């Protein structure tokens, strides 16, 4: 089965449960191209019974997957990486049609995904534990890392292809089996295409399962995850708003959660920075995937005496970005995911302008194609600059500063702490400032979006917790203490 239909016609998709494509002929929902609402697929509209079957399959597959020797798992991951490379063109087309991804963004995700698969292929060989000293003579204590069991993942629509791998690959690399619930906005590129690839690579039945659902049915699937004793961890990527709902439920169910949430992602451009470099880094960091990535830059703080030069350079570069149908390889800015996203950015741009902000460029849209937008002189009370709620679209606020300490304090005054960037001609100064940032990721002389497969990505504060790369061993394993005693015990009673 291929979910990428010939001649790009609409296809009908199923769940992937216990190594089988199931539910054809059952209820479906329409997945539409955000550019023109054309039908991409009729996807299976799953519910409780599908989620229960998927969890049961993952639980049954767990013992064998957890016990699989690292070399065997490694072969599977490496094969999957080769398939990702080989299917690049199809995946690029799918992401354009389903999610509005430009070729540049899709290719970026595909490269990262293949790299992460190749990294993860080796993680089975990481040290499995420690031998500890005991205060009891003749006792040996060993600590072993064990997989948790079934990990249930919520995969997002925005960086769908790469972020879905990140959601299930990390737990699987450490011996867990998984059930994925892709976002209803992009079920194909946030889960089903992965099932095809893993099936093609020969992953055992039940090790990886996908259940898709119609809009409004997410909570029903989540109910199954929270109710099932086999599900030991919920791996969620999405908004802090939904994370709070799920977090309360996880508390009641006493389930571990990994949370990859949003960010406000400031960039500090210091007075000695190379402005041309800063312009390039900010254009990429703010407008990749039309600002719909958790690590997109939302606000730039620029030394006042470099402000005009920076804004002029940025405006010229941003206005040259081609906006349109993302199947055109020249297009950088494709459509926003839905009408809600267009309404959100539009309202916030208008709110800022009404309060006296200067619109440098953008601020208009044709359908869901929103032109990249830059605002300066934004009053602090404007919604888009308070940093309390990320604007998930192509909107960048620029603020001039006189005192770098005030700018650093302001940049950190948001509830988020995902990524930050500092552009400077003085790496020592950049590092000093970086050390003071309360964020999961700080880049000196690189965009806020400088992801690499092997590096730990994750946030602090309302941006969540959990880290990618091999650091995910902390999230997806637990520590087992085993002791063995040589001598008879001595007891107080």
Q: Which stretches of the chain bind ligand NAD, using CB under 6 A? A: 154, 156-159, 163, 183-184, 218-219, 222, 237-239, 242, 245-246, 260-262, 294, 390, 392, 418, 459
Structure tokens at 362: 């953008």
CB 234 within 8 A of CB 254: no
Closest CB 249 distance from ligand NAD, rounded Å? 8
Alpha-carbon span 175 to 69, nearest angstrom? 10
CB 375 within 8 A of CB 365: no
Active-site residue, selected from the candidate residues 294, 384, 390, 399? 294
Closest CB 209 distance from ligand NAD, rounded Å? 16
Closest CB 218 distance from ligand NAD, rounded Å? 3
Structure tokens at 257: 């959660």
CB atoms within 10 A of CB 291: 26
Closest CB 419 distance from ligand NAD, rounded Å? 9
Closest CB to ligand NAD among residues 17, 246: 246
Closest CB to ligand NAD among residues 184, 196: 184
- The burial class, CB within 10 Å (0-12 / 13-18 / 19+), for 83 is middle
Closest CB to ligand NAD among residues 18, 389: 389
Closest CB to ligand NAD among residues 258, 369: 258
Closest CB 427 distance from ligand NAD, rounded Å? 27
CB 92 within 8 A of CB 110: yes
**How far apart are the two ends of the chain, measured CA to CA in Å?**
67
Which DSSP state fits 82? H
Q: Is 294 a catalytic residue?
A: yes
Closest CB 112 distance from ligand NAD, rounded Å? 12
Q: Is the dihedral of CA 250, 254, 260, 264 positive or negative?
A: positive
Q: Which helix (H) or strand (E) holds 394?
A: none
Which DSSP state fits 25? T
Active-site residue, selected from the candidate residues 260, 384, 390, 399? 260
Alpha-carbon span 475 to 453, nearest angstrom? 17
Closest CB 123 distance from ligand NAD, rounded Å? 19
Closest CB 74 distance from ligand NAD, rounded Å? 26
Q: Is 260 a catalytic residue?
A: yes
Alpha-carbon span 224 to 418, nearest angstrom? 30
DSSP 269-320: E-TTS-HHHHHHHHHHHHHGGGG-STT---EEEEEGGGHHHHHHHHHHHHHT
Structure tokens at 463: 């941006």
Residue in the shown chain whose Cβ atom is closest to ligand NAD: 238
Closest CB to ligand NAD among residues 222, 288: 222
Sequence-ordered list of residues with C-beta below 8 angstroms from that of 350, at least 6 positions apart, any chain: none
Closest CB to ligand NAD among residues 149, 191: 191
CB 80 within 8 A of CB 117: yes
Sequence-ordered list of residues with C-beta below 8 angstroms from that of 98, at least 6 positions apart, any chain: 31, 33, 40, 41, 160, 186, 188, 189
Closest CB 212 distance from ligand NAD, rounded Å? 10
CB atoms within 10 A of CB 465: 15
State the Rg of the chain over Cα: 24
Structure tokens at 67: 């016990």
Closest CB to ligand NAD among residues 172, 201: 172
Alpha-carbon span 196 to 206, nearest angstrom? 13
Alpha-carbon span 86 to 42, nearest angstrom? 26
Q: Which of 69, 47, 169 is nearest to 118 (CA)?
A: 169
Closest CB to ligand NAD among residues 143, 245: 245
CB atoms within 10 A of CB 75: 13
Closest CB to ligand NAD among residues 294, 442: 294
The residues assigned a catalytic role are 260, 294
């Amino acid at each position: 089965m291929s979910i990428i239909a010939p001649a790009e016609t609409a296809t009908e998709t199923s769940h992937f449960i216990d190594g089988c494509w199931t539910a054809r002929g059952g209820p479906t929902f329409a997945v539409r191209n955000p550019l023109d609402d054309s039908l991409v697929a009729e996807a299976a509209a799953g519910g409780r019974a599908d989620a229960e079957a998927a969890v049961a399959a993952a639980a049954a597959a767990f013992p064998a997957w957890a016990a699989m020797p690292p070399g065997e798992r490694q072969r599977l991951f490496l094969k999957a990486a080769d398939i990702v490379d080989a299917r690049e063109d199809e995946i690029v087309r799918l992401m354009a049609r389903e999610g509005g991804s430009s070729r540049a963004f899709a290719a970026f995700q595909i490269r990262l995904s293949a790299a992460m698969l190749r990294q993860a292929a080796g993680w089975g060989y990481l040290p499995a534990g420690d031998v500890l000293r005991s205060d009891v003579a003749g006792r040996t204590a060993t600590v072993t890392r064990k997989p948790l069991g079934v990990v249930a993942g919520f995969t997002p629509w925005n960086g769908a292809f790469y972020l879905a791998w990140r959601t299930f690959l990390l737990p699987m690399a450490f011996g867990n089996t998984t059930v994925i619930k892709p976002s209803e906005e992009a079920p194909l590129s946030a889960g089903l295409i992965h099932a095809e690839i893993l099936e093609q690579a020969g992953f055992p039945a039940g090790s990886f399962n996908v259940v898709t659902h119609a809009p409004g049915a997410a909570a029903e699937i989540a109910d199954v995850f929270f109710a099932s004793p086999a599900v030991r961890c919920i791996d969620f990527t999405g908004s802090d708003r939904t994370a709070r709902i799920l977090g309360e439920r996880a508390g009641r169910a006493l389930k571990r959660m990994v949370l990859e949430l949003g960010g406000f992602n400031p960039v500090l451009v210091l007075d000695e920075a190379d402005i041309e470099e800063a312009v390039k880094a900010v254009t990429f960091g703010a407008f990749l995937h039309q600002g719909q990535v958790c690590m997109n830059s939302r606000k730039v703080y620029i030394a006042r005496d470099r402000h005009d030069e920076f804004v002029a350079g940025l405006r010229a570069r941003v206005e040259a970005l081609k906006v349109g149908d993302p199947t055109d390889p020249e297009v950088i800015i494709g459509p926003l995911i839905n009408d809600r996203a267009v309404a959100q950015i539009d309202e916030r741009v208008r709110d800022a302008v009404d309060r006296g902000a200067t619109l440098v460029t953008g601020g208009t849209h044709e359908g869901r194609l929103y032109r990249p937008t830059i605002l300066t002189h934004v009053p602090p009370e404007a919604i888009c600059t308070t940093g309390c709620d990320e604007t998930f679209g192509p909107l960048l606020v620029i603020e001039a500063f006189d005192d770098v300490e005030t700018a650093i304090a302001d940049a950190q005054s948001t509830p988020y702490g995902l990524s930050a960037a500092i552009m400077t001609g003085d790496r020592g100064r950049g590092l000093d400032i970086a050390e003071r940032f309360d964020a999961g990721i700080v880049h000196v002389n690189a965009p806020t979006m400088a992801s690499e497969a092997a590096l730990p990505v994750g946030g602090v504060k309302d941006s969540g917790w959990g880290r990618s790369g091999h650091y995910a061993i902390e999230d997806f394993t637990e520590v087992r203490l085993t002791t063995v005693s040589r001598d008879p015990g001595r007891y107080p009673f």
